[in-house]
Structure 1
Amino acid sequence: MRKILLSVILLCAFSGVFAQDKSKKPIRKIGEKLGLVESQDSTNRKGPKSPNDKAVAKITDYLIISKENDTTFVDTTLTIKKEYKFNYLRKDNFELVPFSNLGQTYNSLSYNFESTKLMPSFGARARHFNYMEIEDINYYRVPTPLTELFYKTAFEQGQLLDAFFTVNTSPQFNFSVAYKGLRSLGKYQHILTSTGNFRVTTNYNSKNKRYFLRTHIVTQDLLNQENGGLQDSNVPYFETGDPEFLDRSILAVNFENAESILKGKRFYLDHTYNIIRKKDTTSSNKLSFRHIMSFEDKYYQYDQTTASDYFGDAFKNSKLKDRVSLENFYNQVQLDYSNDLLGDLQFNVSSDNYNYGYDKLVVLNGNTIVNRLKGDIYSAGGSYHKQYRGFDLKGEMGINVTGDFDGNFIKGTASFKLNDDMSAMASINHSSKAPNYNFLLYQSEYINYNWRNNFNNTETEQLAFHLKSNKIANLSVDYSTITDYAYFKRDQTDNQIKAFQNSATITYLRVKLEREIRFGKFALNNTVLYQNVQDQNNTINVPELTTRNTLYFSSNVFNKAMYLQTGVTFSYFTAYYMNAYDPLLAEFYVQNEREYGNFPRLDFFINTKIRQTRIYLKAEHFNSAWTGYNYYSAPNYPYRDFTVRFGLVWNFFM
């Protein structure tokens, strides 16, 4: 909480410095002077005067730049998509089911097997939903200082805050700093969460437009108390809706003496030098050299004061600590060549130095399990981009040339704009990659959680098609085949969770339809996902149908002083064999014993926009008391009960 308060104080101080106005004019006149009009269309809103340019800055001048150089601008409108993204992840979580407490993990209702990675990923994937990867970090260019404050209430004794500030000290150099912090006690016993994501970015280009640099530093710590879910004996107390147990803290959990934490720090550098640049529209060639470097050090640790029978026998009975770490140093150099006739060509070579594992050896049944996987991987790859007769063609590939991990991928996309409203895209992707590190090597104080596996690469192929139209609908279809899929499941011999690999070929079809129907000031926003899996071993389980439908009203009120949006969201997914959660591994595992789902969720919301402030009020799952207590996020982990939560997003243009 001290980090959160410090972030607020610093950002308010910055806001005060840049927003001082010595005049005694009323607030409305000051707002008009700054150009902060109240139009719901942010693209037409004018911003304050830029210190570098006496012209009035437009909202479209506040740029947000992704890792892939895709550029958007700050959007202060209030839309239904903003409602869907007003959550802990700040992303649309349509395909996820959150656990009861904010900051816990999410169960996945769908999977995307498109991949362009060559290396295995760190384990503890259930703790990575809020772990900010390289592609999650944006860079900025703003004419005046910009601040954003995101706030939302949590569950019992806690708050969520995401504070962000960016400024261009000159037209060439941008700096940003942000911190997202959360503390939430939760409704059940021993599920406190405390998380923090701190990030700093810089974005620079030389005056002659030859040299470009982007870099970021990110430190993250995500802590959860773990309780193993409800005891089997207490599940009926929850499902019958016994009034005595509506106070969820009374329900007995499997243990109350464990916690897990995922910590990581990363330095990232991406810089480019234009050897030959296009000086004007008559130039046809461009040649540039690019270097990308990242160093990341992260670890996952599980602590428990005394051993629990929940995980089986242990080597010792008290002060158990499992800790696994990964150090990864990545370098890539690439040469980019652009020609108006040939298109854009890129060639690259890269190296990965990895060091994954544990600090001690484990001897099990007379066999010593190695404690480290480390080495160097050298890779090569390239990409191509060309616009030809209305088609936008892209392709990329990569392959591990030397090292202990084989891997390769190839991806091609073709997009075409049919008219001003409709566009289509088709893609094909092949990937071969080693399973994640914790499938290959795992060590624990619990005896059955120790293994060293020599698994095959997981092979995936995917065909995908996307059609986008504001007037008709957005349609996405993808078809994947997966071979040698790695998964966790309870071993029938000792009843403990272990890593397995499915040698059979799995086929997986997804069809997603998005359509909004408008009638006056009312609208019905619909998202429907259909899935079909053919898997003889039942290792990928997903609901056949997932839907979200929002009926809402939106309009300017109070003489356009406020924009109002209010409505009801209905969410539902069909029953299926939902994956169970293992808190020791911080992974979900396959279970085929009981189906979960088939429960509706109704949320009522009232959202308003006053100038650049969006205020959100929501009654979540208000139907929980009268549609049955059969709602779960995972087996033995109930979904959230009815609750009312409040929050806001506030932008300052100084």
Structure 2
Amino acid sequence: MPQLNIDMTKHLIIIFFLMISFQSFSQFEVQKGSKSASTSNSNTTLRTNEAKSKSNNGKKEKPPIEDYKIISIENDTTYVDTTLTINKDYKFNYLRKDNFELLPFSNVGQPYTNLAWNFDEIDLLPDIGATTKHYGVYNVEDIYYYNVPTPLTELFFKTTFEQGQNVDAFFTSNISPRLNFSIAYRGLRSLGKYQNILASQGAFRFGVSYQSKNDRYYLRTHFVSQDINNQENGGLTPKANTLYQNKDDEFSDRSLLEVNFEDAENELFLKRFYLDHYYKVVKGNDSTQNNQIRIGHTLNFTDKEFWYKQTDPFLGYGDSYQNSELSDEVEYQRVSNLLYAQYRNNLLGDFTFQVKHSNYNYGYQRKLILDSGVIPNRIKGDVFSVGGRYQKQIGGFKLSGDVMVNLSDEFSGNYLKANASYKLDEENKVDASLVVNSSAPNFNYLLFQSDYENYNWSNNFDNIQKQDLSVNLNSKKIANISASLTQINNFTYFGLKDNPNPEVDEDTGVSSAKLVTPLQYDGNIGYLKLKADKEFCYSSFAFNSTIMYQNVFSGEEVFKVPDFVTRNSLYYEDFWFDKALYLQTGITYNYFTSFYANGYDPVLAESYVQNSTELEGFHRFDFFFNAKVDQARIFFKLENFTTILLGNNHYSAPSQPYRDFSIRFGIVWDFFL
């Protein structure tokens, strides 16, 4: 672990000096551009921004915040938001997303228990698996591109649990009005309160966007390198679970509770190079782009590696081929090239035809020859796909569709994604979407090898068939309401099977009676989710409430979620000290009903379905004190503070304790030069 921290420090130092260098360079470019503004047409944007930023006394003023644009992969454009709202408090976490539907484990950077599920993501090919390690992964849609009038820096910092920190440093600048780059690094280290659950992560991101001078060629590209490392302890032993449930005062120091093992760790490596660029063969009308024709290309090269290492075998996972130094490692590479041609017509809409080739390579360095058969070492091949996209907007009505089909017998698959939205007015919008997807389960369901005898299999599962219909209403006057109805056929999951030769450790009580195995459900999953959130304001006080109802009306024996989940915040906010400080303080209450939550398996880095241990729903109270000073937002929180008096014996998953009371704070600071 020390080497990881040294590497993290090196990356942060490099980024710091790059920021200083690029800031100076960008300032020089702006000054140079302003001197030649009267003779160069290419500097029109610089002249406009400079004209806006000069006051009557000749001093430069900061450009308007709306000029600092953030562009998604779908070309949705927003701008930098430096306000302090309750939603900013909800997103001030490790994921930097609202985690209402997730229940965290005891340490930062560990897995989550899903309190709800979303099925709007689509794909045509399997992924590597190890899904519990993908919560913090930067996917293609998580990378944004920028266009800024001056260099922009954002610093994120938040305390963790014992001997660590969570930091994210981001910088972006326009080298010219048409060329932008961004660079960022996220580092995490948290020792945790329990034995052997250190989390250590690093994520480097670099992005570039470019637009040619004649407005014909556009390019967006990024590179991501990420490692997610976790020490694993297998949860509390049966005896330690009893002590934890009884709230024994002698074990308020959680490091004294015995865990199943203290010699294991797993890690996911990810590297991705992504390129999306297109050329306007026919430029079309300059103002409306009518009859425009584009040809484009998208490249996605992704390389992933997952490994699990353990010094001594653990009885609970069954027999092993090795008596010591167990080591499992799997690699996955995927290269996809998408070619597309687009025709844009003001009357008919935007039509896109696309062809895709994907090369995949998943596997191990060895074959296993067992009495029951041969476990192969690799799944690899090529898949060609064809499809199209359509988009049309008339006033406030917008219609879009995306369809793709695999032309392969090895991995058949298809998806259809359709969306219709209507903007009633500035405060009300409604949209509906349909997602139909057929794709193979992740590769770790199809092929897995391990030094543990039980974790070796080769399967030929059917495609998972998913249909998801959702409707959303966004209304400031009424509420934000969403409803989704999902049906899944051939649901594939990890479950438990009986061990024909079970053993019990007399000292710890650990049993090997049940072992994890991949399974496919032969019935249908029917899942309804209703969610609403609304904020009520009176004077300087506000009450923000989110409530979610779920019903699994078929397949509840393998698909488990709580019936109700709610979050409510009562808080005060106002300007203080002659508007020099904006204060926000209050209490947030969370609750979910009891359900049989999935267990966690570190060998696979997957959750598994279990029916023996019910996760009891429990109440959580957090007190927060947030403030905004200039462009800095400061966050201070007392997490789960009622456990100071009541104690804590709640769980995030079977044998995985929930977090005790803790005081955490941090800051998000934006710098505009």
Bin for the TM-score computed over the shorter chain: over 0.9
The residue number in structure 1 matching 2:299 is: 293
Give the residue type in structure 1 aligned to 2:495: K
The residue number in structure 2 matching 1:305 is: 311
CA shift digits 1:138-185 (9 cap, x unpaired): 111111111110001111000111001111111111111100001111
| CA distance in 1 between partners of 2:671 and 2:245 (Å) | 47
Specify the SS of the correspondent of 1:229: coil
Give the residue type in structure 2 aligned to 1:371: N
Aligned-residue offset at 1:280: 2.8
- Would the aligned equivalents of 1:562 and 1:609 in 2 still touch at CA under 8 Å? yes
Aligned-residue offset at 1:282: 6.3
CA shift digits 1:437-467 (9 cap, x unpaired): 1111111000011111110111111111101
Determine which of 349, 353, 377 is the counterpart of 2:383. Answer: 377
2:61 is aligned with 1:55: no
2:90 is aligned with 1:87: no
Specify the SS of the correspondent of 2:633: strand
- Would the aligned equivalents of 1:98 and 1:639 in 2 still touch at CA under 8 Å? yes
Determine which of 172, 180, 183 is the counterpart of 2:186. Answer: 180
Give the residue type in structure 2 aligned to 1:120: P
2:534 is aligned with 1:515: yes
- Would the aligned equivalents of 1:115 and 1:431 in 2 still touch at CA under 8 Å? no
The residue number in structure 2 matching 1:615 is: 634
| CA distance in 1 between partners of 2:645 and 2:96 (Å) | 30
- Would the aligned equivalents of 1:240 and 1:629 in 2 still touch at CA under 8 Å? no
Distance 1:14 1:610, change over 3 A: farther
- Superposed, 1:334-483 pairs within 5 Å as 334-388=340-394, 390-483=396-489
- Would the aligned equivalents of 2:631 and 2:670 in 1 still touch at CA under 8 Å? yes
- Would the aligned equivalents of 2:247 and 2:649 in 1 still touch at CA under 8 Å? no
Give the residue type in structure 2 aligned to 1:485: F
Give the residue type in structure 2 aligned to 1:396: D
CA shift digits 1:278-307 (9 cap, x unpaired): 333366211101100011111000001111
2:574 is aligned with 1:568: no
Aligned-residue offset at 1:55: 3.3
Specify the SS of the correspondent of 1:402: coil
CA shift digits 1:222-255 (9 cap, x unpaired): 1000000000111011111111000000000000
The residue number in structure 2 matching 1:532 is: 551
Aligned-residue offset at 1:389: 6.4
The residue number in structure 2 matching 1:126 is: 132
Specify the SS of the correspondent of 1:271: strand
Specify the SS of the correspondent of 1:496: strand
Specify the SS of the correspondent of 2:559: coil
| CA distance in 2 between partners of 1:644 and 1:399 (Å) | 51
The residue number in structure 1 matching 2:196 is: 190
| CA distance in 2 between partners of 1:281 and 1:213 (Å) | 21
Structure 2 runs not aligned, ≥5 long:
25-45, 54-62, 501-513
CA shift digits 1:516-546 (9 cap, x unpaired): 1111111010111100002346111000000
2:666 is aligned with 1:647: yes
- Superposed, 1:466-505 pairs within 5 Å as 466-494=472-500, 495-505=514-524
Specify the SS of the correspondent of 1:234: helix
The residue number in structure 2 matching 1:39 is: none
Specify the SS of the correspondent of 1:503: coil
The residue number in structure 2 matching 1:70 is: 76
| CA distance in 2 between partners of 1:238 and 1:432 (Å) | 44
- Superposed, 1:37-48 pairs within 5 Å as none
- Aligned residues: percent identity? 49
| CA distance in 2 between partners of 1:508 and 1:290 (Å) | 38
Specify the SS of the correspondent of 1:418: strand
| CA distance in 1 between partners of 2:368 and 2:458 (Å) | 11
| CA distance in 1 between partners of 2:575 and 2:170 (Å) | 28
| CA distance in 2 between partners of 1:355 and 1:63 (Å) | 38
- Would the aligned equivalents of 2:12 and 2:185 in 1 still touch at CA under 8 Å? no
- Would the aligned equivalents of 1:4 and 1:161 in 2 still touch at CA under 8 Å? no
Distance 1:19 1:453, change over 3 A: closer
| CA distance in 1 between partners of 2:477 and 2:288 (Å) | 38
Distance 1:115 1:90, change over 3 A: closer
| CA distance in 2 between partners of 1:188 and 1:93 (Å) | 23
Aligned-residue offset at 1:390: 4.2
| CA distance in 1 between partners of 2:111 and 2:74 (Å) | 28
The residue number in structure 1 matching 2:6 is: 2
The residue number in structure 1 matching 2:224 is: 218
Deviation larger for 348-357 or 489-498: 489-498
Deviation larger for 576-585 or 420-429: 420-429
| CA distance in 2 between partners of 1:626 and 1:261 (Å) | 37
| CA distance in 1 between partners of 2:433 and 2:556 (Å) | 28
CA shift digits 1:174-230 (9 cap, x unpaired): 111100001111000000111000011001110111000111111001100000000
RMSD of Structure 2 on Structure 1 (CA) = 1.7
Determine which of 605, 613, 628 is the counterpart of 2:624. Answer: 605
Determine which of 195, 202, 210 is the counterpart of 2:208. Answer: 202
Determine which of 571, 575, 585 is the counterpart of 2:604. Answer: 585
Specify the SS of the correspondent of 2:52: strand
Q: Across the two proteins, how many residue pairs are aligned to each other?
A: 626
- Superposed, 1:534-553 pairs within 5 Å as 534-536=553-555, 538-553=557-572
| CA distance in 2 between partners of 1:4 and 1:139 (Å) | 24
Give the residue type in structure 2 aligned to 1:561: A
The residue number in structure 1 matching 2:58 is: none
- Would the aligned equivalents of 1:50 and 1:144 in 2 still touch at CA under 8 Å? no
| CA distance in 1 between partners of 2:291 and 2:201 (Å) | 48
Specify the SS of the correspondent of 1:439: helix
| CA distance in 1 between partners of 2:123 and 2:23 (Å) | 45
Aligned-residue offset at 1:388: 3.9
- Would the aligned equivalents of 2:411 and 2:440 in 1 still touch at CA under 8 Å? yes
Deviation larger for 341-350 or 390-399: 390-399
Distance 1:11 1:114, change over 3 A: closer
Specify the SS of the correspondent of 1:82: helix
| CA distance in 1 between partners of 2:50 and 2:409 (Å) | 53
Give the residue type in structure 2 aligned to 1:531: Q
Specify the SS of the correspondent of 1:438: helix
Aligned-residue offset at 1:626: 3.9
Aligned-residue offset at 1:364: 2.1
Structure 1 runs not aligned, ≥5 long:
21-48
| CA distance in 2 between partners of 1:560 and 1:10 (Å) | 37
| CA distance in 2 between partners of 1:450 and 1:619 (Å) | 45
Give the residue type in structure 2 aligned to 1:107: T
- Would the aligned equivalents of 2:19 and 2:171 in 1 still touch at CA under 8 Å? no
Give the residue type in structure 2 aligned to 1:523: A
| CA distance in 2 between partners of 1:323 and 1:648 (Å) | 38
Deviation larger for 501-510 or 384-393: 384-393
- Would the aligned equivalents of 1:227 and 1:253 in 2 still touch at CA under 8 Å? yes
TM-score, structure 2 normalization: 0.91
CA shift digits 1:590-616 (9 cap, x unpaired): 011121131101000000000000111
Aligned-residue offset at 1:396: 1.1
Give the residue type in structure 1 aligned to 2:608: Y
CA shift digits 1:119-143 (9 cap, x unpaired): 1122100011011111111111111
| CA distance in 1 between partners of 2:353 and 2:69 (Å) | 28
Specify the SS of the correspondent of 1:460: strand
